[in-house]
Amino acid sequence: MIPLTMAQAGELVTIRRMTGRDEAGQRMAELGFVADSDVVVVSRMAGSLVVQVRDSRVALDQGMARRIMVERRGKDEDIEGCQGGAECHCGTAVR
């Protein structure tokens, strides 16, 4: 497991756990950041991340992204069954 901050743009990861139990963590869960959810890192800028989770793109600062522990799955286009187009392997729009 690694923190989400270590994932690269275009990489598909699966959330394994969230650290901390505060209001921010509860809000993240409401947005779909829960265990076993797939997330694609869309872009990285100055330590911040834009990620695709469920049907939404969410910008995360480095502190919040560091609290999300993930498992690497590969590049979105490398996942078996992914067409690399508008839909990724799990049905989440990526591009």
Tens-digit pLDDT profile for residues 10-32: 999 999 999 877 888 888 888 89
pTM: 0.74
Given this model, what pLDDT does residue 77 score? 55
Given this model, what pLDDT does residue 14 score? 96
Q: Is residue 6 scored above 90 in pLDDT?
A: yes
Given this model, what pLDDT does residue 74 score? 77
Q: How far apart are CA 62 and CA 59, in angstroms?
A: 10
| Per-residue H/E/C for 14-70 | EEEEECCCCHHHHHHHHHCCCCCCEEEEEEEECCEEEEEECCEEEEECHHHHHCEEE
Tens-digit pLDDT profile for residues 48-63: 999 999 889 999 999 9
